[in-house]
Structures are given as C-alpha cells and as structure tokens.
Amino acid sequence: MSDLNIYHVDLGERSYDIHIQFESLASIGEAIRRLFTVPSRCLIVSNDVVAPLYLGTVRKSLETSGWHVETFVLPDGEKYKNTATWMQVMDSLMACKLSRNEPIIALGGGVVGDMTGFAASCYRRGIPFIQVPTTLLAQVDSSVGGKTAINHAHGKNMIGAFYQPRLVWIDPSVLKTLEIRELRAGVAELIKYGLIRDVQFFSYLEKNVQQLLALDSKVVSQVILTSCRHKAEVVMADETEQGMRALLNLGHTFGHAIESMTHYTRYLHGEAVALGTLMAARLSHMLGHSAENLEPRIKRIYEATGLPTVIPEFTVNEWLDAMGHDKKNVGSRIRYILLKEIGDSFIAEDITDENIRTLIASYL
C-alpha cells in the first residue's frame, strides 16, 4: 500500500481528490466517511458485469464504516446510457429517499459514471457524487473532470451537466478482470493525452505499451497518474469547455460519427476515437498544419496496442450527416481538433464541407 498517489483537482469550492492506489477498494468506506460529518445512507450504482466482481467489497467497506447501503445495478453497455435507464436511476433515488447531503456512488466504467453523475447532478438539484471507476478508460479519462451525460436517440451525450465528483477513488488492481479489448480501448485515451499535449508521454507509451497491457504495476501507476494530471490540468484551466478543454475531443467528431453510423455496436468508444484520431492526423497533414505526416507513427502505436486502424467505409453524405454538417447549421461551425506535431494540438474552426469530402474520398 506504499504506492499511494493523490492528485488534488483545484476548482475552488468544487475541488476534490483523485486517490490512486492498488488494492484500495476495501478502504473506500472510511474515505467516504471522512468527507461527511456522519455516515448515513448512500446509493451505489453499478452494472451487471462489475457488480458480481466488486460490489460486495465496496458495500462491505461502506457498511463497516457505518453506512446504510442501497444498490442499483444496470445492464452493462453503452446502449443503456439512455433516458429510460437514467429514469430508473432517478426512481431508485426516489425509492430510497436519499436526502440532499447523502452520496451516490458510481462503481463501473464510463457509462455507469456518466449516468450516475448526471443523476447526481439533478436529483434534488444536486447531491454528493463519488466516482469509483473500474475500467482503464474511466480511470484515465471519464471519471475526472465532471462531464456527465446520457445519450439522446439522435445524439451522443446530448443531455447532461458539468458536475464535479467529491472524490475519485481509483484502484488499478480491478483492471485485472477487465476484458483485454476494454483495456486496449482505454489505452487509446492515454495515447490521446500524448498526442494533444505531451510528446514524452507518447514516447513512453510507445516503449511500454506491452508492459501496460500486461498490467505491470509500475507502468500502470505511472500512466494513470500522468493522464489524471493531464485531464485535471485541462479541466482546471477550462471547466466548462469554453476553449482549450475541447482539445480533449481529439478524434471525437469523427469517432462519434463512426459510433453513430455503426449504431454503437461495432466499436468501443476508445476504438472509435482511435479511428477518428487517424482521420484527424490525415486531415492535419492534408491541410498543411502538420509538416510531417503523423499518421504512420500513430497507426503503429495503435497496431501495437491492438486497436483497429482501418476506417470503415461509408458514403461522404453518411459521414457529413453523422457529423452534423447540415445546411441549417450556418454560423455554428463544427470544431475539429487537429495536430501540428505529436504533443501539439489546436482547435480548427475553419474546416469546410469540402475539406471533409476530400478527406473521406481518400479512404474510398
């Protein structure tokens, strides 16, 4: 237990700690108790894959610390990140009559965290929210920063809130039960931090990706801490995405389009983002923003990670529709994140339909 790392996210009265430590799941009850005057009731939200593995440990830890624990288990999967499931979480909060000062705890990956966070933000106009992320993607990205949301039938993450957790509790040892494909998808988000703002971290990942996939504890600790630091720095500078926070969306405009066109079934979010990032790299070079063509180097690390690198085929119009390029949308251009080099990214607001048509045509 000497491997403890705590990163403090400073957001004024919305500040909180990210607590990173192997085998720490069983200590969470006491940690949450310290945030409150007295333990009372709490609701743990998890999914039917994570709950059988870790809900018992978390529940026992909380009960030992004096908490009365209620639970709600959702089906696993992005397709349940919708208004219907969110309403079930709200019903569950109503049923256990949580007060404004009693916490809701998200135990799971990005879907559980996003949905629980949005429920926390709007139940009684906001109750304390604790993130216990159990996937690599959630540990290095979605659990930090306060973006919560659910999907609308016509768009991903369209209904949500900026709502910061009170605590992010990361136990990397839970990654040992994560499907390798999920692990790889999480690595895609790590690579993203290297690409947008840290070339040294990108090089570190190039050298250590196999150790990372084998869950070498030193490498895992290092990459989780580094990426939480990157995420937190960006969020502290721009909590509600007025500017630079948008850099975190590298590969996301294309990635979301890919997820949408394949109905959220063929690719995991991280996989779609990897594909989208390859497209952003090609677009960057095509428009002369990156002198060097960065695509081959990025493709190599994705291949080494075991991520997909072949862009799926759709017509140009399918792409434009899926990305929200429509005629009515004049004056509110879509922002793309582009690369100058590895570790140096920027927001481009001047991308035209023609640019996108040319890019898509290059894959056909």
∠317-323-327 over CA atoms, to 5°?
A: 65
288 sits near its own copies (criterion: CB under 8 A): no
155 sits near its own copies (criterion: CB under 8 A): yes
Q: How many residues bind its own copies (CB under 8 A)?
A: 38
Residue 86 vs 204, nearer CB to its own copies: 86
Say if CB 40 and CB 51 are below 8 A apart: no
Among residues 137, 132, 1, the alpha carbon closest in space to that of 61 is found at 132
| Annotated catalytic residue, options 59, 184, 256, 325 | 256
Q: Each residue of 234-269: b (16+ CB within 10 Å) or e? A: bbeeebebeebbbbbbbbbbbbbbbbbbeebeebbb
DSSP annotation of 138: I
DSSP annotation of 290: S
Q: What is the largest CA-CA distance in the chain?
A: 62
Structure tokens belonging to residue 48: 């039917």
Q: How far is the CB of 111 from its own copies (least distance, A)?
A: 17
254 sits near its own copies (criterion: CB under 8 A): no
Q: How far is the CB of 100 from its own copies (least distance, A)?
A: 8
Among residues 281, 274, 241, 245, the alpha carbon closest in space to that of 259 is found at 274
DSSP annotation of 248: G
Q: What residues between 294 and 353 interact with its own copies by CB under 8 A?
A: 324, 326, 328-329, 331-332
Q: How far is the CB of 99 from its own copies (least distance, A)?
A: 4
162 sits near its own copies (criterion: CB under 8 A): yes
| Concatenated DSSP letters of 27-65 | GHHHHHHHHSSS--EEEEEEETTTIIIIIHHHHHHHHHT
Q: How far is the CB of 346 from its own copies (least distance, A)?
A: 19
244 sits near its own copies (criterion: CB under 8 A): no
Contacts of 211 (CB under 8 A, 6+ apart): 219
161 sits near its own copies (criterion: CB under 8 A): yes
176 flagged as catalytic: no
236 sits near its own copies (criterion: CB under 8 A): no
The binder of its own copies chosen from 1, 2, 97, 364 (CB under 8 A):
97
The binding site for its own copies (CB under 8 A) comprises 38, 40-41, 83, 87, 90-91, 94-95, 97, 99, 101-102, 118, 121-126, 147-149, 152, 154-155, 158-162, 240, 324, 326, 328-329, 331-332
Catalytic machinery residues? 125, 147, 189, 231, 241, 245, 249, 252, 256, 269
